[in-house]
Amino acid sequence: MSRNSEYKIERHPLSAAFPDMNPEEYSELLDSVREIGIQNPIVLFEDKIIDGWHRYRASVELDIECPAIDLPEETDPRLFVIAQNVSRRSLSASQRALAIVTVNAWRRSGVTNKAHPQDAPEKSKKELSEMSKTSTATIDRAKKVISDAVNEVIEAVQSGEIGIVKASEIAKLDKDKQVAALTKPVKKTVPKEVVPDYDPSDDLRETITALNEELEKASRAAASGVLEEGMESAQEIMERQAEEIKNLKIENDGLKSMRNTLQVEIKELKKQCSYYQKKLKDIEK
């Protein structure tokens, strides 16, 4: 549902870097606001909503008051929006990586060449991977998408329609070919323009890659007798990795089951088509 014409306050680009709630999540929020109102005020920065966009949407839809406060001047808006979204939202690895890379590259209005004095320095690729809980390879792909992909491809990653693996491959194509590649892979007769079909397990594979990087780091630290404060032990990382692999297997099994079901349905439809084609020929005789 689009009610943009009724919104008196715009959404800040830093907030828009993160995907919208899905319909089910928004419906639950709407029910909550309808029953108890807006409990937490929205936060404004540069006169736009940096936190609480969905609460504001609900208040407009229900025509109720929406309290608002300004972001404290000493607060870095990039770190604030990441803290407000990454830990409390159910986002895929692709969505997290794309959002954090987008936020990291943001500059205040009127500031183009360097960060505002109150903003923290840009994060390194390694720091971004740690913040997003993804691999450095995923961060590289996200940067490729941000720099070279058309808006439709970026929005497809944000919405969860495709993963960052496919999006980064699409970003290598000429811009006039990218939208078509979202739903129809480029012909394999042109090797450098091949776009792999999206595999829903891409995000779990990326997470496992990130865990392997953490494991290697922890192992090196343990070997040297120095384990940084707050760093997980190799054993803890391996336990997390085992859980991710288990989830990956479950998801792959589900995809195989779905594929087998579809194959059976297709076979049955072919039989029906053959039957009716034969009847049609008999009628024509």
The structural domains of the chain, ordered by start, are 1-89 (no CATH), 91-198 (1.10.10)
Which pLDDT tens digit goes with each residue over 6-28?
778 999 999 999 989 888 889 99
Q: Dig out the tokens for 13 from the structure.
A: 């680009």
Q: Dig out the tokens for 159 from the structure.
A: 């919405």
Q: Report angle CA 213, 96, 8 to the nearest 5 degrees.
A: 160
Q: What is the mean pLDDT of residues 147-157?
A: 92
Which pLDDT tens digit goes with each residue over 93-138?
889 999 999 999 888 765 555 555 556 677 888 899 888 888 888 8
Which pLDDT tens digit goes with each residue over 207-234?
666 666 666 666 666 666 655 544 555 6
CA atoms of 126 and 120, how far apart (whole Å): 16
Q: Which helix (H) or strand (E) holds 132?
A: helix 125-132
Q: Which helix (H) or strand (E) holds 42?
A: strand 42-45
Percent pLDDT > 70 in the chain is 67
Query: Per-residue pLDDT for 183 more than 70?
Result: yes
Which pLDDT tens digit goes with each residue over 158-178?
888 888 888 998 999 999 989
pTM equals 0.62
Task: Tell me which residue of 68, 103, 110, 111 sits closest to 83, measured CA to CA.
Answer: 103
Lowest mean pLDDT among 34-48, 68-82, 127-141: 127-141
16: Cα within 13 Å, side-chain hemisphere: 10
Residue 87: burial class (beta carbons within 10 Å; 0-12, 13-18, 19+): exposed
pLDDT recorded at residue 119: 66
Task: Tell me which residue of 59, 38, 51 sits closest to 12, measured CA to CA.
Answer: 51
pLDDT recorded at residue 49: 96
Check: CB of residue 45 under 8 Å from CB of residue 77.
Answer: yes
CA 222 to chain centre: 33
